[in-house]
Structure 1
């Protein structure tokens, strides 16, 4: 039985597993029933497995012939969103929804596991499957999985994200930068409150915050090399609760996205300088809080090439396409700090699958699971014997 036939054989089951997790999603750090279901399915197949990272799972399959150890990772957490996909498998858990596609990631990787399990007596190498919690929340679940031995003796790792922005049947790869580091900042401006009719007696934190927003929007355009990739965005301004009162404080929150560590540090230095300068000019003070997220995903080119070669071998109607980097973040980057590997996109965009990730109506075309299974299995098998 060839690999594509096995992919077709296990695809319906992978879809049913995906729909189960879509119906019963659990948000970051609460993936206890998800973990229990995964362990039960693995034990039913008599596959060596164990809990890890509190609510994660690690499983391993050994081929008959010695070779490299290749890790394959899926994230398993859901988002705190009310599901509005309006399907028979719509979430039954209030304010929990797989609106990012992690249910599809579980299905792709578990389907890959079933293929490799069935072929194990013919394969070279060892295959470790990492079902990781808490991708959507800090602190990262990847860190806890690594601390719990997920990468012990691993030679390389691969992972994927089902991706609505690219079309179904396309496997998106890069040979370097893929996803940015997602950092957060919070700026609290302290002024002097008073009546709106007598602004001369106040130090208006709303006005100062507005100047800061304008200043922050000059960082990428004027302080960063235009050949570098970076984003600075303010997503929230909170101040006051009465139309005629100038408040004491105003709070800004936003995000920084970048790929280069020097650029990252330069941006935060400019935030500090802009905030300090504007506040000094207006007799105000400010407190700046930063939360550095996970590193950027920067693929190792040789492993991206291995994915591209695997796509060329596939019997499924798919193609590989080099895609531009995106400024979203993903904690798969922590694994790449320890072992080489690559992350890729599995297209799911169609005329019907139009809602973006993190939207309440987000859903996937389940043919993407079939395509992901074949690419993932072929890539892992090839890397294990390379």
Structure 2
């Protein structure tokens, strides 16, 4: 049955590509994925499966495939939101929505997962346990969809959770993993500095918030270099300094927004404490009033070491020609709300290489020219299928019949 499942996936590779291209041409932003969610729900109509819609704080969908035998409950997650990016690729299925693009591969995640789920539904008599397909909304925009889906309780019975992400820095066929802490946590802050506006020729009658803000930008860069252990990873970046005005007018107030990354809760606590301390010092030194909003978005992503070792062993011994290499990769400072699933349930999140053929250097995720080698969709489907076969007891010699055989 395992061999038949792999053959089913291979025979439906073109379908995966067509689904991906449809979704790519019709992207929707986080928390606005109404038509995408409907497309996913429609895919399951008439199939022998339980479908829950509007799960969590948006358009999340949980599809429950119950096997005929008892066993583990396994969660498989694929996200489906797009990004506020104007597409600059030259493909016939280019985004039809100006300023919105699938620039991170979520269209591909959904495409392979739909076909994989359908194949698993057809062989459910061979499945020991239950498989829950997690079609997740709003990965890109905090608070994200994962946390709310976890808090809904629909996944409380999971024994294991698995997730993948297309990654163009690796060639197709390469699977990248990292045991333990694999991706950074993320926090966001916004600082409003209120001064006293006035004429640029008479600064003594004003209190310039731009000067105070410039001091904050410089001072906050010392948090990582002077307050963190050199062996701890931390990043503090200023992404926006809104002080635009007229050349001869001292502004009344400004806004600064920043991004924080870290690999553990202790580091995050140190960074937040120091940012708040610097803000308090600026109020005293410059006589301004500051309002700081500091929000922790996604926690660090932690791959369970035992599960990771099992997954690596399964994939390395899959004897599948589509999987050419399984390699450990460095810690990545990007963030992922899949971390919320892993906080509650042991599991692993790994990368699928999708570097487009014939290019020397691929455009990274979130770039307006981001593209993938669509052969990576089959690699994604088959790699997850190998894991499902192992954990759900789908054996080579099963006597169950494939519905479309």
TM-score (ref. length: structure 1): 0.94
Residue in structure 1 matched with residue 374 of structure 2 by the alignment? 366
Q: Distance in 2 between matches of 1:323 and 1:297?
A: 14
1:341 is matched with which residue? 347
- Higher mean displacement: 349-358 or 95-104: 349-358
Question: How far 1:133 sits from its partner (Å)?
Answer: 0.8
Contact between 1:25 and 1:98, CA under 8 Å: does it hold in 2? Answer: yes
| Alignment of structure 1 residues 245-284 onto 2, 5 Å | 245-284=249-288
Residues 154-169 of structure 1: pairs in structure 2 closer than 5 A: 154-169=158-173
Tell me the distance in 1 between the aligned counterparts of 2:201 and 2:54.
Answer: 60
Which runs of no fewer than 5 residues in structure 1 stay unpaired? none
Alignment of 1:124-135 (within 5 A): 124-135=128-139
Q: Which residue of 2 is the match for residue 22 of structure 1?
A: 24
Counterpart among 199, 209, 216 of residue 213 in structure 2: 209
Summarize deviations over 1:322-368 as a string: whole Å, max 9, x none.
11121211111111122111111111124537222222221111111
Matched, 1:33 2:41: no
State the match for 1:329 in structure 2.
335
In 2, Cα distance between the equivalents of 1:380 and 1:229?
Answer: 34
Superposition RMSD in Å: 1.9
Task: State the number of aligned residues.
Answer: 386
Which of 390, 393, 399 matches 1:382? 390
Q: Distance in 2 between matches of 1:309 and 1:20?
A: 35
Tell me by how many angstroms 1:160 deviates.
Answer: 1.0
**Does 2:364 match 1:356?**
yes
Give the distance between the partners of 1:228 and 1:110, measured in 2 at CA: 40
Matched residues in 1 for 2:314 and 2:330: separation? Answer: 20
- How much has 1:382 moved relative to structure 2? 1.6
1:235 aligns with 2:239: yes
Any conservation in 2 of the 1:188–1:287 contact (CA below 8 Å)? Answer: yes
In structure 1, the partner of 2:87 is 83
Q: Would you say 1:110 and 2:114 are equivalent positions?
A: yes
Q: Give yes or no for the alignment of 1:71 onto 2:79.
A: no
Deviations 1:135-176 (A, max 9, x none): 112232112322444313111100011112333322111111
- What are the within-5 Å matches in structure 2 for residues 169-318 of structure 1? 169-312=173-316, 313=318, 314-318=320-324
Q: Which residue of 2 aligns with 1:138?
A: 142
